[in-house]
């Protein structure tokens, strides 16, 4: 309990600082109806008192940014070797509705900033969707010159405004800088879409069939994950076989941003 | 989790219905739409799902299993209302590019959490972030809908 209180108070104290400072943010809705928040950030330290580290976290292997965790009465906290806070997950079912209060978009962004402390070097953009349970699911990414660095988080806030689960991924900034990537070196979203459609037509559509994308509509977002920069293209399609029978499928595809290599084609169930 | 398991493929509507009525935990992987589950012999409409008082939890890993058709109830809402302790589905489309990634990875994470004694709700939210940490995306699983949130199934 003592550890929990310290952490919660630490969070609240830092949140208070942010409220006093007041940050300007811009809000807009993108084509998918997501609430998008973009702002410049100022790093702030947090979680200096993290309590006793329990044991090494080997659960996630290489896919995970951190390797140690500690816990209090409410959450498991996962941290990396630099004490950056990368995940908080609930321990107990009966504690729903308690824990870290993140009842506004600003507080969620502050939570992101606090966890990455002095690591951040770019701008932050947040994408928010609602689950069926009306949880707010924030995907928060850091960008430099409009390209994601790979530092990002997924933070889920329950309907009452309390943290339900969070995961934080820290970029390999050295590798990111070595890429020396700017938008001039990146293929366009339309080029990525064309590449994906050709790939699907060749490998996913029945022989003598074809695919139609209604109104040619698609969503595209330039993303970075595990050091790879790629276009994520999402669109609905109707696929016809040679008899004219059709079925609808949604695709989520990834295309490497400079070479145009198709990394993944995921189709809906 | 202390259960013996039975796996059925190309399941018919009758088999799925009787399985929901006789088993404790049922996981369904197939195509779906609002109020509809695809079976080997046609579509199982939510309105045709019978009473399931002995069912503790059903997970419909299909598109739109938590989406209500016009004037009706979704598949997983019907399951809960028909007597199950808990159910989980998705309001939107879910996707994968292999048998082990995307929404299928979400499922693995969900049951991993559930085996640890977490509730179906907490298992659902944690699984989403585990999927995100693994793949950098949600694959539509962020449209999850959990009924009977405080239920545990281990």
Q: What are phi and psi of B62, to 5 degrees?
A: -140, 160
Q: What is the mean pLDDT of residues A3-18?
A: 28
Q: For residue B130, name the pLDDT band (cuts at 50, 70, 90).
A: confident
Contact (CB<8Å) B62/A223: no
Residues A42 and A154 in one domain: yes
Q: What is the ipTM of this complex?
A: 0.94
Q: For residue A76, name the pLDDT band (cuts at 50, 70, 90).
A: low
Q: Which of B64, B132, B141, B149 to mutate to test the interface with A (most CBs of A within 10 A)?
A: B132
Which residue is listed with tokens 């929404």? B103
User: What does the pLDDT read at residue A61?
Assistant: 40
CA distance B97 to chain A (A): 4
pLDDT above 50 (res A65)? no
User: What does the pLDDT read at residue A44?
Assistant: 26
Out of A49-63, A87-101, A190-204, B56-70, pick the least confident.
A49-63
User: What does the pLDDT read at residue A26?
Assistant: 36
Residues A212 and A165 in one domain: no
Q: Which of B66, B45, B54, B63 is nearest to B25 (CA)?
A: B54
Residues A162 and A194 in one domain: no
Residue of B nearest to A236 (CA): B93
pLDDT above 80 (res A246)? yes
Q: What is the mean pLDDT of residues B86-90?
A: 98
Q: What angle do CA A161, A165, A171 make, to 5 degrees?
A: 120
Q: Is A264 on the interface with B (CB under 8 A)?
A: yes
Residues A163 and A31 in one domain: yes
Residues A26 and A73 in one domain: yes
Contact (CB<8Å) A93/B137: no
Maximum CA pair distance of chain B?
Answer: 39
Q: Is A267 on the interface with B (CB under 8 A)?
A: yes
Q: Where are the domains of chain B?
A: 13-95+140-147
User: What does the pLDDT read at residue A19?
Assistant: 24
Residues A211 and A149 in one domain: no
Strand partners, A262: A255
Contact (CB<8Å) B140/A268: yes
Residues A173 and A235 in one domain: no
Residues A74 and A165 in one domain: yes
Of residues A105 and A33, the one with the higher pLDDT is: A105
Q: What is the CATH number of the domain that holds A223?
A: 3.10.450.40
Instruction: Provide the mean pLDDT of chain A.
Output: 72
Residues A190 and A92 in one domain: no
Interatomic CA distance for residues A137 and A135, integer angstroms: 6
User: What does the pLDDT read at residue A166?
Assistant: 82
Of A134, A163, A179, the residue that ends a domain is: A179
User: What does the pLDDT read at residue A81?
Assistant: 55
Of residues A71 and B153, the one with the higher pLDDT is: B153
Of residues A113 and A210, the one with the higher pLDDT is: A210
Q: Which pLDDT tens digit goes with each residue over A84-137? A: 555 555 544 444 445 667 788 888 888 888 777 678 889 999 999 999 999 999
Contact (CB<8Å) A137/B30: no
pLDDT above 90 (res B133)? no
Residues A77 and A170 in one domain: yes
What is the domain range of residue A164? 2-179
**Cβ count within 10 A of residue B44:** 25
Interatomic CA distance for residues B3 and A166, integer angstroms: 30
Of A162, A179, A196, the residue that ends a domain is: A179
User: What does the pLDDT read at residue B31?
Assistant: 94
Residues A175 and A208 in one domain: no
Of A179, A200, A217, the residue that ends a domain is: A179
The number of distinct structural domains making up chain A is 2
């Amino acid at each position: 309990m003592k550890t929990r209180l310290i952490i919660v108070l630490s969070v609240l104290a830092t949140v208070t600082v942010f409220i006093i400072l007041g940050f300007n943010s811009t809000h807009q809705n993108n084509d998918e109806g997501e609430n998008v928040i973009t702002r410049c950030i100022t790093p702030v330290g947090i979680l200096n008192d993290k309590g006793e580290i329990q044991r090494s976290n080997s659960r996630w292997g290489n896919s995970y940014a951190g390797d140690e965790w500690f816990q209090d009465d409410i959450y498991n906290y996962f941290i990396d070797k630099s004490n950056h806070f990368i995940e908080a997950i609930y321990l107990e079912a009966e504690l729903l509705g308690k824990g870290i209060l993140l009842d506004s978009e600003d507080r969620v962004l502050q939570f992101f900033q606090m966890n990455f402390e002095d690591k951040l070097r770019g701008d932050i953009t947040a994408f928010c969707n609602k689950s069926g349970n009306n949880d707010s699911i924030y995907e928060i990414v850091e960008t430099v010159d409009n390209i994601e660095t790979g530092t990002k988080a997924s933070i889920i806030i329950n309907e009452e405004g309390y943290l339900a689960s969070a995961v934080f991924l820290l970029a390999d900034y050295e590798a990111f800088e070595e890429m020396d990537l700017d938008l001039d070196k990146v293929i366009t979203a339309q080029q990525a879409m064309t590449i994906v459609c050709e790939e699907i037509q060749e490998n996913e559509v029945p022989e003598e069939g074809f695919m139609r994308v209604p109104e040619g509509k698609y969503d595209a977002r330039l993303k970075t994950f595990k050091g790879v920069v790629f276009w994520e293209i999402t669109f609905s399609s109707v696929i016809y076989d040679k008899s004219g029978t059709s079925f609808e499928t949604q695709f989520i595809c990834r295309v490497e941003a400079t070479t145009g290599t198709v990394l993944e084609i995921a189709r809906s169930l | 989790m202390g259960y013996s398991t039975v796996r059925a493929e190309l399941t018919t509507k009758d088999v799925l219905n009787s399985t929901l009525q006789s088993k404790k935990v049922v996981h369904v992987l197939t195509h779906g739409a609002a109020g509809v589950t695809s079976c080997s012999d046609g579509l199982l409409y939510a309105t045709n799902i019978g009473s399931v008082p002995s069912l503790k939890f059903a997970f419909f890993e299909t598109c739109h299993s938590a989406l209500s058709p016009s004037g009706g109830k979704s598949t997983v809402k019907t399951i809960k209302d028909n007597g199950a302790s808990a159910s989980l589905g998705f309001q939107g489309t879910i996707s994968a590019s292999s048998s082990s990634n995307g929404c299928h990875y979400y499922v693995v994470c969900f049951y991993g959490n559930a085996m640890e004694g977490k509730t179906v709700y907490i298992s659902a939210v944690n699984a989403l972030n585990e999927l995100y940490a693994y793949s950098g995306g949600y694959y539509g699983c962020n449209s999850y809908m959990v009924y009977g949130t405080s239920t545990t199934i281990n």
